[in-house]
Structures are given as C-alpha cells and as structure tokens.
Amino acid sequence: MGSSKTTPCCSKVQACSRTMRRHHRCSTAPMMSSHRSATGLHFAAARRRFAARLLPMPEDPDAILDGFLIYFLHRSIAHFFMVTEGNEMEFRRVTGSNPHFNCVLVIGFQNAFSEMQSLRKLYLSSNNLFASIDSLRAFSEIQSLRVLHLSSNNLYASIDSLRGLCELKNLRALYLESNNLDGRALPPCLSKLSKLETLWLQDNDLGSYSSALKGLCGLSALKSLDLSSNYFNDSNLPRCMGNFSLLENLYLAWNNLSGHFGNSISGLKRLHELDLSSNHLTDDGISTWISNLTSLISLHLEYNKLKGLDAIRGLCGLSALTSLDLHDNNLNNLPICMGNFSFLEYLNLSWNNLSSLFRSSIPGLKQLQQLHLESNQLTDEDISPWLSNLTSLTGLYLGNNKLKGSDNMRGLCGLSALTTLYLYDNYLSSFPICMGNFSLLENLILSWNNLSSLFSNSIPGLKRLKVLGLRSNHLTDDGISPWISNLTSLTDLNLDNTTLKGSDNMRGLCGLNSLSSLYLSDNYLSSLPTCMGNLSSLQNLYLSQNNLSIHFGNSIPGLKQLQKLHLESNQLTDEDISPWISNLTSLTGLYLGNNKLKGSDTMRGFCTLRNLRELDIGGNSIGGSIDPCFGNMQNLAYLNLHRNQLKGTIPSSIFSNLTMLNSISISQNQFDGLFSFSTFANLSELLYIDLSENIQLEVETETAMWVPTFQLQLLLLNNCILNKRTGHGIPTFISTQQSLDTLELGHTSLKGTIPSWLLYNVTIEILNLRGNFLKGPFPKSAQHNMSRLQYLDISNNHFFGELPPDIDTIFPNLVAFKMSTNELQGAIPLSLSKLQKLRTLDLSQNRLFGGMPEGLVGNNTSLKYLKLSNNELHGNILSKNWNMTELIVLLLDNNEFTGTIASNMLRSPSLIILDLRGNKLSGFIPSWLPSLVNLSLLLLGDNFFDGSIPIQLCQLQNLHILDLSSNKISGSIPSCLNNISSWMEEIPIQIDELLGQQSERSNVVGLRSDSFDAKYTRVKTSLITKGMILTYEGLPFSLMTSIDLSMNQLIGSIPLQMGKLKELRSLNLSQNLLSGPFPESFQSLENIESLDLSHNKLVGMIPPQITQLHSLSTFSVAFNNLSGVIPYEKQFLTFNESSYTGNHDLCGPPLPWNCSSNNPSQSRDNKEEEEDNSEILDSPMFFYSLVAISYALGFWSFIALICNKNRRESLFRTVDRCYDWVYVNFQLFQLYLKRHCN
C-alpha cells in the first residue's frame, strides 16, 4: 500500500463530529504516515500478536496468503487495523469500536482506494459506517473488486445512498445484511452490476418503500438472493423476481408472506433452495404454485400456518427434494403421495398435530436418514406398523409425544442403522429389550419419562453409546448401579433430577473412565463416592441444587482434568471448599452461587486458579472488600459477585490487569464511595457491566478524559448515584457504544433532558430511565432511523407536553411503553394503536384527557397490559369495537369514565385483573362476569353501581380480590361465596409469569437475568385493609385474598357460609345495614388478618371462639348493637377500645367499664340511658344544630343543582354521608354526656 497523502484534517472531515476535530486540533500533519513505525514489526511477530483476534478469511484460490501488513489508521484508533492478504483487505475490530472510526474510515478510503486497483475482496462488516455512506462512491475506483462485505453496519436509509456501488461492474458478491436500509437506499443503477451472483439483504427494512427496489430487477446473473427479515408481505414483494432465471437460492424467511405472491417465483426453474419459514403461509397460499419448482432440493416451510392436505399435495411433484422442513405448523395428516420422495434424506414434522392418520405416507421414504416427529400426538400404536421400514434412518426424534413403551414399540428394533434416538418427554416406564441391539447407537435421550430400574435390561448392550440423557426420571441409586458401569464408551451422562442420594450404590459411575461431562444436579446428594475422583477424563461436573456440604469434598481433588464445576444452590461454607479448591488447577469455570460462603480467605483460594475464565460466587454472604488478588486472574472473562455483602469502595487497581474480562456483575452489594467508570476504559473485551443496586455507590463517568475501547451490549446502573459531581447528566460515553442493546439507568438521580441520540439510538432494544429527575417535552428525532427499541420505561420523571403523534413510525418495534407518573397532557395519540407488537402500555398518573382511542381498543389485539389510571379520561370505557383479545390486565381506576360495563368486555377472555375504581360508572354489577373465567381481581369500588350483588359472581372460581365498596348496592350478601375456590384453598395468581414472557431474550449466564417484563411489568394493587392503604406486589400480591363490600346499603344477616373462607385474608363489611348476630362460623377464618364489621346493626355476643384467629391484626365491630363480655385473650389482647366503641351493652376490657353477670340494675341503666338519649335528642342544642346544618346543606345543594347539573349525583352522595356523620357524632356525644356528666 502506498504512502498516504498529506491532507489537513479539517478539509477532509466535514462530516465528522466537533469532538473529532477538537481532538486532533486540525493538524496539517499526515494522519497515517506518522505511524509508519508501527508497521515495522516483523510480520511473524505481528501474526503471533494478532492472529488470535482475526476472523478467519474465506478460502479463495485467487488470494495470495503472503502474511499480514498491519497499517494503523490513526493513533486514536490503534485498536482498529487493516489487514491485506494478497488481493484481500479487511478492516477488523480488534478491541472494540471507537467514537471517531467513521470519520477516520472516510479519510482512509479516500486516500487509499485509488491505490487498490488489484483488490478483489474487501471486508468492512461490523463497523460504524453510518456517517460515511456517501463516501462509498470511492469504491468506483476499485474496478477489480469482486466481493464486498458491508454487513452489520448502520447504513441508514436515504435516497440512492448506495449509488457509489453502481460502478463496481466486476462485483460478484455483495453483502448488506443487518443494516437499516429501506427500499430507497438501493438505487436503480444497481442493475448495472450485471455479474452480481450473490446479494444478501436480510435483516433490513426493504418492505418499506419497496416500490423503489427497481434496481434489483436488472440483476439477471443472480444465483443467491436473501431478503429475509425485511417486513415484506404479498403485495410489496418485488414482482420481478421471476426474471432471475439463474437463481438457485432464495431466502424469504421472517417476513409477513401468506403465499399469494407465488406467481412471481413459480417460473424459477433452477431454484434449488427456498426458505419461506416464519411467515404466515396458508394452505391456499402455496398450493397453486409450489409444484412448479421442480428443481427444488431443499424447502423450508417451518413456522407457518399450514393445516390441510391440499397445500401439502402441491409438494408431491417436487421429486428432487432431499430436505423438507414443515415443523411448527398445524398439520394433522400428510398425503400418501409424499411417500414418493425417493431422494428425501431429511424430514422435519415436529410441533404439529400428527397422529396415526399420517403414517401411510412415510414407509416409502427409503432414503430417509433424519426424521423429526417431536411434539405431536403419537402413541406406541401410531409408530409401530411402519417405522421398521425406514431402514436407512440414522436419526429418529420422537420427544414430547404420548409413547408409553409397550410391546407395540418393537417396530423400532429393526432400525439397525440408528446412531441417534430421542424419546424424551413421553410416558415411558420401560421399552423393548430388543432395543439393546442398536449396536451403532451413540446418542440416546430418555429424559422426562417415568423410567425406573425396570428399563435397565435393554441398555447394557449399547456398547457404542456416548451420550445418555436420563434427566427427570424416577431412578434411584440402586436403580442405576447394576448396569451403568457397562456403558464404557459414555462421554456425557445426564442424571439431573432423578432422586439420587449419593449412596455406595452410585459406585457404578466410577468405572466410566471415558466420561467428560456428568450431570447430577437437582438431586438429594449430600456426598459422592470417593472413587469418583478416579474419573480422570472428567471435564465438566454439574452438582448444583443438592445438599452438598463438607462430606463431598473427598472425591473432588483427584479430578485433575476438571474444567467446569457447578456447585450452585447447595449448603457449602468456606470450610467445605477451602481445603481442596486450590488443587483444581485446570478449572476454567467455577460456579458457587447461592451457597453459604462468607469469608475473604475463600476468595484468596479462587485467586490461585490461574486458568479460571468464569467465576460465579453471587448470592452468598461474602463480606468485606474485593480481595486485591483478583487483579492477578488475568484469564478471567466472567466475574459474578452480585447479591453479597461486599462493602467499601470498588478498588480500581483490580481491573487494570483483567484485559480478558467481558462480563462483570457486582450488583446488590453495599459498595459506597466514588467509582470512576474510566477504570474500565482499557478493558476492550467488555460486553456486560452490572453495578446496579448499590444505593450508596457514586459512579462518575465524566471526570476524566477517556476513550472507551470496549463495545458494550448491556449496561445496568440502576439504583446507583450517577454523576453526582458533574451535574447528574446522562453518561456521554454511551454515544460511542454502537452495539449496546440494554441500558438501565433507573433511579440514578439523573437530571436534565434526554438527548435524542440516546432515545433514537439504532441498536438499543431496552432503555430504562425510570425514577429520575429528567424533564422537558418528549424528545424529537432529527433523523428517522429504524429504531430497534422494544422496551422503553421513562416513568417517574418530569416530562410534560403531549406524546408524539407519530410514535408508531419512530418506535415501530415497541413491546412495552411506560411513561407513568409524569406531567403529560393532551389526548392519547391514535398512533399507539398502530404498534402491532405492543403488549404493555402504562401512561398512568399523568394529566391525559379525552376518551379511549377507538383504534387502541379495537385494533391492538396484542396488548396484554393496559394501565391508564389516575388521569382525566372520560366517556364510555368500552366501545362497540372493543377487540383486545389478549388483554390480561386492565387498570382504568381514578378517571372520569361514565356509563355501564358493557358485555363487549367478553372479547377479552384472558382478563385476570379489572380495576375500574374511582370513576362515575353506574348500573347493575354485570351478571355475565363469570364468563371471564380467569378473572382474579374485580375492583369496582367508589362508583355509582346499584342493585344487588349477582349470585353469578359465585362462579368466579379464581376470584382473589372483590371490591364493591362505596357504591349504592343493596340487598343481601350472597350465601354462595364459599363456592369460590380461591377463598377456600391457596391458589396463587400467576400474573407476573404471564406478563413476564413477552420476549425471548438471552442474558449472559449469571448476570441478573430478570427480563425487562419481569422487573417492570409486575402488577401492583392498592387495597384498603388493616385500616390503611397498602400496596401489594410480587408474592404477597399473588396470595392476597380480600372482600370489601363496605359503604353500601346491604341488609340482612351475614351468611354463615362466609366462615368457610379459610384462605380469606381481609374482610370489610363496614358501614352497611347488616343485622343479626356475629357469625360463630368466623372462628374458621384461620388466615384472616383484617376483619371490619363496624357501623352496622349486629346484635348478640361476640363469640369467644373468635380468639382462635391467630393471624388477626386489625379488628373492628364498632357502632353495632353487640352486648356481653368482650373476648379478651390471645390475639385479642392487642385490640384497643376503638375496636368496640359504639356498642352500649359491651363490657369488659379494653373498655373502661367492667360487667358482672345477672346485674339487676343493668336493665334500669339501659332504660335511663334510653331516656338520656331521648332527652339529648329533644334538647334545643340538637334541634338548632340540625337546623343550621340542614339549612347550609339545602342552600348550597340548591345552588349546585342550578349551576352544575353534572355534579348532582356527587352532591346527593355528599349529603348522605354528611347525614350519616351527624348521626354518628351525636350518638358519640350523647354517650359522652351520659358517662361524664352524671
């Protein structure tokens, strides 16, 4: 490569950031030549230094592999280099990205491309070219270029932004996958690439502006085209694809195709491979054209909606097929003609509904080698008659069916070529002895069955068996002992969850000298046979979730080849592991989470394991500070110290030598003091950092001038104190992280506004900024890049103004959107209804007004959690278009909704929580509510409902909490409430689990794996119980049971059957008109914690058996007509006078007067009391007071009725309550006069 030209920085970096120009001071020195000395390394030395980090180059006969030429582009990006191998060049990321690489790359291209006339291959994948896309015109100088890789960059869409590629007329392969391109980015001039054979465009957004894809149509030489994951549907897929007469491979997976596009590809006579997986294909969508593709060898139709025979019959003409994948459809049968696939070698029919009906089509597949039938409805009889005909089978997968292991399974015995057999997750208790004749069998998976020692007769003959899975069966120590030692070829043995205890009978394992992996987790092991230390080949040992303690350590030190040791969730202490842990010098992974480790001496023992790459000691009780010896573990890549009791400052010196570290978690400890984030600056391999839940730790990212060499994927700083000394701003280094997909900065005291570069970042999928002091209107984006944001939580801040009207276009992938407890105003934007992936929406506690958007409740069938509480919304709750079929939680409390509850709600059959409290709803309580069979919380309090409680509510078997308080409900309490199962037996609400499975995201093992959904979509509810407002969530919420019928007009006696509700924890029947005795049956409310029967007309004695309620903490029968002695023992010793006041005939502690049996003066006293009451009521003071209050209420009532007719009902209710207040207080006043004035 020639010398670079001397070019002033500023003249070449117009597109670069001000930060870049400021950093280089606009020097006129050459940007590359000053580093010529860096390339003076001997090529052999350079190869040794960098080869381990280079990606493998594809083989190419034209490439001359003459060593590496390493050419640093700039001193600030020394962690990037350019590699040339003959006629190939690749820009590779060695130690991470750089915030200024996009700028330098432009300069490098403009200076270098003119001197690369012979270059054939150029690899620029996984960089940050988004700011340099216009400079791709420089490629036109490399006329010899044949292969160009631009995948996994940020090539945002702009009109004809790839025009610079059009002059590469010798280009054979172009890779543009995983960018942000829509149809506008591909210019028409791409049709000039007449020699282009391979074009990969998957994982973009070409479905948008697809009409601009005209440049594709002229690529007549194409042989391989990948358009997967581009939001194509039948109407916007380019019709010209039928012109690609040479096309051999076409990939259209992960789109929205139903199959009616088929006419555009049915003419592709040379097509060998077609991938249509993960679409919405239907039977009639493919049946008319699929049979025309007679050259097909491989066909992928998995993850679609195929059901019937008609669609599949079209496949029968594809006689050249060798591979057919139909898994995850709805097939229950196959046409007989499929047996004509004489060349078929691979057939996947798993995850369908197949049973015996399909078997007639299979036996003719004589060449079949791999058959997948997992997750169907197959029984022993279904597979027996025909399976033995498939004599070429080497792999048979029958997991998750209904096999029992009867003699009908003998058909398997003729499959002598089998090397792999999967029978997991069936009902096997045994299987035919003849299966021991599988002399070639190497892999046998029998996990999740009902096997015991009875099956062992057929196993010992499997002399070649290498992998045996027996997890989750009913084996015991003596159940495996007689035969396991015969399997001398075993390399992997899984005995997880098989009720093993570790007795001497397990010695049969000791003879398995070839074992490399042994799984014994989730058993009852307290020790292991000492002879297991002789397993000299063992590399991976899994012993988590047992009862291991000091007794098991004797067998471990001899395992000299052991590389990974899993001991999580046992009873291990420091003394149990200290004597032997340092002997395992080959260990690369040690996992001791959730044990009973405490001391720092144990941590020093870990430091001696110099080969250790992964260390997990989270979930223990380790105190003190992090031992400095950790800084010597130079191979450490993964460190998990979370949920311990570590204290003090985080020592920066520890991390300086840990250059291989890619994952660190020290969350949920007690660290404090100042920690400078620049400590991590040179840890170029870092991907995951979790410092969260250290509430006294100050994390400072802005104090030092530093440039990160890492590219993070996950950063968790929740509940730390962030940038306290520099103004609590959002860390600026985040703008350099081009691979970041999870960022959580909740409750970190952030201030200011959200920068648009953060909110509209094109890589972040999870963003949590809740619980801060951020303010301002919702940030606007300068560019409409394709956002990947799925989970956005900016709740509990100070944002104001309206939500953006185009939220569906700026965040099209939103799954969860939370912006509660802010100062938002205006109406809920209709654009929210266009977010087809949205499952969680929380806009509660704002100032939103208007009605429920029709589109939101009518179109959004994916929404599971909707919370709009504490706003100013009005109108009817349910529109006629209500169609929220997936809704689980509906929280609309404390708004101004009116009208009745319409039966449209039945269109949400999965509803578990319905909270409509604090509105202006009226009418009867619907009798159709039991049709919502999953309903667990029915909260209708503080409205204007009237009528009686419908007895149909007794059919709600899962009802946990019923709140009908503060309404105008009359009639009696239904006596059938004991029919509700959840009040009779403990049945937890599984709501958090249902809401938590919204995303299949993988987290690095050992870091806090709580998904965004599980952490932030936890349901909470506030209930008035125990005399106060309490909030329940998590486990307490799932177990809470409550009935609140207070402040209504209920009459009659309390049903005796309510005493059978032994799982009820709170019962409030106060402020009604209930009469009759205190039910003796209440003594059976063994879990009751709060019982309020005050302000009724109950009579008789308080049953003394009530003192058996040992869980009761709040109790009131005040203001009734109860009499007799108050039971005053056990739990009732804790209740004071206020629990009984207003009952004139009660006596004994805690009341200030005693009572004696057969007191002859009691009746006289009662008479005198009644006379005193009469005198008080007839007194002038009572009269004039009542007149004054009545006048005031009457006058202002009249004014209110004239001026504001919308407040009439509210006023009448206020008058009723005032009347009740006057009555109760005069009763108290007369009682006071009686006791203190006589």
Which pLDDT does position 1009 carry in this prediction?
A: 40
- The mean pLDDT value for 550-558 works out to 74
Which pLDDT does position 640 carry in this prediction?
A: 96
Q: Which helix (H) or strand (E) holds 251?
A: strand 249-251
Considering 109, 127, 154, which residue would you say is the last residue of a domain? 154
Backbone torsions φ then ψ of 384, nearest 5 degrees: -65, -45
Dump strand ranges (E) for 827-867.
840-842, 847-850, 865-867
- Neighbour count for residue 59 (Cβ, 10 Å): 7
Which pLDDT does position 237 carry in this prediction?
A: 86
Using H for helix, E for strand and C for coil, what is the string for 910-952? CCCEEECCCCEEEEECCCCHHHCCCCCEEECCCCEEEECCCHH
pLDDT, one tens digit per residue, over 1114-1129 is 999 999 999 999 998 8
Dump strand ranges (E) for 1136-1190.
1145-1147
Highest mean pLDDT among 176-180, 366-370, 501-505, 1171-1175: 366-370
| Residue 360, token pair as written in the block | 């007639």
CA atoms within 13 A on the CB side of 765: 13
- The mean pLDDT value for 506-510 works out to 83
Give the residue numbers spanning the domain of 724.
574-742
Using H for helix, E for strand and C for coil, what is the string for 538-570? CCEEECCCCCCCHHHHHHCCCCCCCCEEECCCC
- Neighbour count for residue 725 (Cβ, 10 Å): 11
Contact between residue 242 and residue 267 where contact means Cβ atoms under 8 Å apart: yes
Amino acid symbol at 255: N
In angstroms, the CA 716 to CA 614 distance is 20
Which pLDDT does position 114 carry in this prediction?
A: 57
Query: Strand pairing partners for 1104?
Result: none
In angstroms, the CA 960 to CA 307 distance is 40
The answer to whether position 541 is within a domain reads no
Peptide bond into 557 cis (omega under 30): no
Considering 742, 769, 804, which residue would you say is the last residue of a domain? 742
Q: Which helix (H) or strand (E) holds 752?
A: strand 751-752
Which pLDDT does position 484 carry in this prediction?
A: 86
- The mean pLDDT value for 486-505 works out to 88
Which pLDDT does position 410 carry in this prediction?
A: 78
* Among the ranges given (117-131, 744-758, 806-820), the one the predictor scored with the smallest mean pLDDT: 117-131
Using H for helix, E for strand and C for coil, what is the string for 147-175? EEECCCCCCCCCCCCCHHHCCCCCCCEEE
Which pLDDT does position 1035 carry in this prediction?
A: 62
The answer to whether position 459 is within a domain reads no
Contact between residue 120 and residue 155 where contact means Cβ atoms under 8 Å apart: no
The answer to whether position 562 is within a domain reads no
pLDDT, one tens digit per residue, over 1059-1071 is 999 999 999 999 9
Query: Strand pairing partners for 963?
Result: 939, 1044
pLDDT, one tens digit per residue, over 47-60 is 333 333 333 333 33
> Nearest CA to 867 among 795, 965, 771, 774?
795
Q: DSSP class of residue 1014?
A: H
Which pLDDT does position 643 carry in this prediction?
A: 95
Backbone torsions φ then ψ of 826, nearest 5 degrees: 85, -175
pLDDT, one tens digit per residue, over 608-666 is 898 999 999 999 999 999 888 888 898 999 999 999 999 999 988 888 789 999 999 99
pLDDT, one tens digit per residue, over 1193-1238 is 555 444 444 444 444 445 545 555 555 555 545 555 555 454 445 4
What ranges in 778-832 are assigned the alpha helix state H?
A: 807-810
In angstroms, the CA 2 to CA 116 distance is 9
Q: Is the pLDDT of residue 1169 over 60?
A: no
- The mean pLDDT value for 420-441 works out to 88
Vertex 310, ends 305 and 311: CA angle to 5°? 40
In angstroms, the CA 122 to CA 151 distance is 12
Cα dihedral: 866, 871, 876, 877 (round 10): 20
What is the average pLDDT score of the chain?
80
The answer to whether position 601 is within a domain reads yes
- Neighbour count for residue 458 (Cβ, 10 Å): 19
Q: Which residues contact 1209 (CB under 8 A, 6 or more apart)?
A: 920, 944
Using DSSP's 3-state secondary structure scheme, residue 637 falls into: coil
- The mean pLDDT value for 71-91 works out to 39
The answer to whether position 1140 is within a domain reads no
Backbone torsions φ then ψ of 544, nearest 5 degrees: -70, 160
Radius of gyration of the chain (CA): 37
CA atoms within 13 A on the CB side of 205: 22
Which pLDDT does position 565 carry in this prediction?
A: 95
Q: Which residues contact 1047 (CB under 8 A, 6 or more apart)?
A: 965, 966, 967, 1070, 1071, 1072
The answer to whether position 627 is within a domain reads yes
In angstroms, the CA 49 to CA 708 distance is 21
Contact between residue 1010 and residue 994 where contact means Cβ atoms under 8 Å apart: no
| Residue 892, token pair as written in the block | 């609309």
Backbone torsions φ then ψ of 1020, nearest 5 degrees: -125, 155
At residue 783 the predicted structure's pLDDT band, cuts being 50, 70 and 90, is low
Pairs from 945-948 (Cβ < 8 Å, separation ≥ 24)? 945/921, 945/969, 946/922, 946/970, 947/923, 947/971, 948/972
Contact between residue 450 and residue 475 where contact means Cβ atoms under 8 Å apart: no
- The mean pLDDT value for 276-297 works out to 88
Considering 689, 715, 742, which residue would you say is the last residue of a domain? 742
Backbone torsions φ then ψ of 531, nearest 5 degrees: -65, -15
In angstroms, the CA 715 to CA 699 distance is 13
Backbone torsions φ then ψ of 215, nearest 5 degrees: -65, -25
In angstroms, the CA 318 to CA 1194 distance is 88
Q: Is the pLDDT of residue 88 over 70?
A: no
* Termini Cα distance of the chain: 114
At residue 246 the predicted structure's pLDDT band, cuts being 50, 70 and 90, is very high
Q: Is the pLDDT of residue 1017 over 60?
A: no
Residues in the chain: 1238
Structural domain tally of the chain? Answer: 3
At residue 282 the predicted structure's pLDDT band, cuts being 50, 70 and 90, is confident
Amino acid symbol at 98: N
Using DSSP's 3-state secondary structure scheme, residue 656 falls into: helix
In angstroms, the CA 1007 to CA 1226 distance is 63
- Neighbour count for residue 1205 (Cβ, 10 Å): 9
Which pLDDT does position 160 carry in this prediction?
A: 59
Query: Strand pairing partners for 1099?
Result: 1077, 1121
Percent of the chain with pLDDT over 70: 77
Dihedral of CA 7/8/11/15: which sign? positive
Q: Is the pLDDT of residue 1042 over 70?
A: yes
CATH number of the domain residue 633 falls in:
3.80.10.10
- Neighbour count for residue 52 (Cβ, 10 Å): 7
The answer to whether position 934 is within a domain reads no
Query: Helix, strand, coil proportions of the chain in percent (round to 5)?
Result: 30, 20, 55
> Nearest CA to 1074 among 1055, 1061, 1059, 1089?
1055
Contact between residue 1108 and residue 1132 where contact means Cβ atoms under 8 Å apart: no
Contact between residue 830 and residue 855 where contact means Cβ atoms under 8 Å apart: yes
- The mean pLDDT value for 690-706 works out to 93
In angstroms, the CA 588 to CA 576 distance is 20
More confident residue, 35 or 869: 869
- The mean pLDDT value for 473-489 works out to 83
What ranges in 43-136 are assigned the alpha helix state H?
A: 43-50, 101-112
Q: Is the pLDDT of residue 270 over 60?
A: yes
Which pLDDT does position 55 carry in this prediction?
A: 34
Backbone torsions φ then ψ of 508, nearest 5 degrees: -60, -25
pLDDT, one tens digit per residue, over 13-32 is 233 333 333 333 333 233 33
Vertex 1100, ends 1097 and 1101: CA angle to 5°? 120
Q: Is the pLDDT of residue 275 over 80?
A: yes
In angstroms, the CA 341 to CA 322 distance is 8
The residue whose two tokens read 């996994």 is: 152
Q: DSSP class of residue 825?
A: E
The answer to whether position 36 is within a domain reads yes
Query: Strand pairing partners for 443?
Result: 420, 467
CA atoms within 13 A on the CB side of 437: 10
More confident residue, 278 or 260: 278
> Nearest CA to 1091 among 1037, 1029, 1046, 1125?
1046
